[in-house]
C-alpha cells in the first residue's frame, strides 16, 4: 500500500471518529430536547444527529485537506532541505489544519458566526434604535 492511500485511510478514519464521537469528546451530547426544553420527535433527533455528524466530519476533513495542501511544500523541510518560503496563506492553512485535525474547527467557526451575529445585532440596535433585533425575525 502506498503512502497517499495510507494517509487517506488515516484521514478518513479520523474524520469518521470526530463525526461519530465529537458529541462525547466535547461533552455536548446527542440532542434530545430543543432550546425550550421540549422533547424532540424521532425525526428531529435523527436530523440533528446527522447534522452533528456531518458538521464534525467535514471539520476534520477540511483540516486534513489543509494539512495535505501544506505537506508537499514543507515535507522536505523536515530533512533540512527546505526551499519553501512561508506565505500568509500557509499560516491560514496551518491554523485550519490544526483546528480541523484536532476536531475544533466546527466549534471555532460556530463561535465566530455567533459572535458576528451578536455584533451585527448590537450595531443594528445602536444605529437604528432599540427595537426588535433582526435576528429575532
Q: Give yes or no: residues 94 and 59 share one domain.
A: yes
Confidence band of 136 (pLDDT split at 50, 70, 90)? low
Q: Give yes or no: residues 81 and 22 share one domain.
A: yes
The grid cell for 104 is 475544533
Flag whether pLDDT at 69 surpasses 80.
yes
Q: Give yes or no: residues 50 and 83 share one domain.
A: yes
Cβ neighbours for 17, distance < 8 A, ≥ 6 positions apart? 60
Q: Give yes or no: residues 127 and 76 share one domain.
A: no
Q: Give yes or no: residues 76 and 124 share one domain.
A: no
What per-residue confidence (pLDDT) applies to 58? 96
For residues 73 and 55, which has the higher predicted lDDT (pLDDT)?
55
What per-residue confidence (pLDDT) applies to 132? 59
Q: What's the pLDDT tens digit per position in 12-53?
A: 999 999 999 988 888 777 778 877 888 888 898 888 889 999
- Which domain covers residue 39, as residue numbers? 3-102
What per-residue confidence (pLDDT) applies to 134? 56
For residues 61 and 79, which has the higher predicted lDDT (pLDDT)?
61
Q: Give yes or no: residues 52 and 116 share one domain.
A: no
Amino acid at each position: 500500500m502506498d503512502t497517499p492511500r495510507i494517509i487517506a485511510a488515516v484521514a478518513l478514519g479520523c474524520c469518521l471518529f470526530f463525526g461519530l464521537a465529537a458529541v462525547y469528546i466535547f461533552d455536548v451530547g446527542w440532542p434530545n430536547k430543543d432550546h425550550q426544553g421540549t422533547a424532540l420527535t424521532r425525526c428531529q433527533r435523527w436530523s440533528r444527529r446527522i447534522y452533528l455528524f456531518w458538521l464534525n466530519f467535514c471539520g476534520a476533513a477540511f483540516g486534513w485537506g489543509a494539512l495535505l495542501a501544506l505537506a508537499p511544500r514543507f515535507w522536505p523541510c523536515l530533512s533540512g532541505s527546505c526551499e519553501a518560503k512561508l506565505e500568509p496563506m500557509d499560516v491560514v492553512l496551518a491554523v485550519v489544519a490544526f483546528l480541523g485535525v484536532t476536531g475544533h474547527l466546527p466549534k471555532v467557526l460556530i463561535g465566530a458566526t455567533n459572535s458576528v451575529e451578536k455584533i451585527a445585532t448590537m450595531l443594528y440596535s445602536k444605529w437604528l434604535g432599540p427595537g426588535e433585533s433582526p435576528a429575532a425575525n
